[in-house]
Structure 1
């Protein structure tokens, strides 16, 4: 799946959340729910926003933070595992948790 198809696949899977948009960033796309960025689609991978409450679930599964290049690592976004991407209900649950984390850290335009 190329990056364009993957981005469309993710947005389709997350469409039940409503109020979704995307913006180009880091050579990929930032995923927004209302004004809150909660995910990044990059090179056929999805990274979701984490905080101290949700990060242990990712770490326990051996998942890695978002690293758009060798000099930069965004430790507040972690890769979503393939089994979650393949399960629409699980993906919505993980995305909902990422939105909660984004709201809790108030990361959005003008914040």
Structure 2
């Protein structure tokens, strides 16, 4: 289910305008990262792009395909990744446009998941049994 070396290299070449791409195996699939943020996943050499409320309108064409999902407790859990249409692989500029929209969604998701800098600074760590608490 992970991306083949050839498909990964194809994506790396096509999406080079975005920045530094890396690939990491995750959950039997391959995560596609740009500068440390996951913008897509690949399963069976099929590209799925990150979707959120900010880019669903752009990706309406992809809504006709089943989203990337996994099964947990007998239920299908949809992930926030929609299948990129095959035609994009013949239209490199549009593929990059879709990837940029997916990357923007990935940044929005990452911003929601990480606490605000002020919250991080205000957090206190509990001291271990052999340590004094530092404030």
What TM-score do you get using the length of structure 1 for normalisation?
0.81
1:38 touches 1:48 (CA, 8 Å); kept in 2? yes
The aligned counterpart of 2:127 is: none
Q: CA RMSD in A?
A: 2.4
The reply to whether residue 105 of structure 1 matches residue 109 of structure 2 is yes
For the residues of structure 2 that align with 1:42 and 1:100, how far apart are their CA atoms? Answer: 21
Higher relative contact order (CA 8 A, sep 6+): 1
Q: 2:61·2:85 contact (CA, 8 Å) conserved in 1?
A: no
Superposed CA deviations along residues 61-91 of structure 1, whole A, max 9, x for unmatched, are 5132112558543331000001112211001
User: Are residue 63 (structure 1) and residue 65 (structure 2) matched?
Assistant: yes
Whose Rg is larger? 2
Higher strand share: 1
In 2, are the aligned partners of 1:3 and 1:42 still within 8 Å (CA)?
A: no
**Runs of 5+ unmatched residues, structure 2:** 115-135
The TM-score normalised by the length of structure 2 is 0.69
Identify the residue that residue 92 of structure 1 maps to in structure 2. Answer: 96
Query: Partner residue of 1:78?
Result: 82
Q: How many Å apart are 1:6 and its aligned residue?
A: 1.5
Q: CA deviation at 1:12?
A: 1.5
The runs of at least 4 consecutive aligned structure 1 residues that moved more than 4 Å come to: 68-72
Aligned length: 109
Deviation at 1:27, TM superposition (A): 2.0
Give the whole-Å Cα distance in 1 for the aligned partners of 2:81 and 2:43.
Answer: 12
Structure 1 alignment gaps of length 5 or more = none
The SS at the match of 1:85 is helix
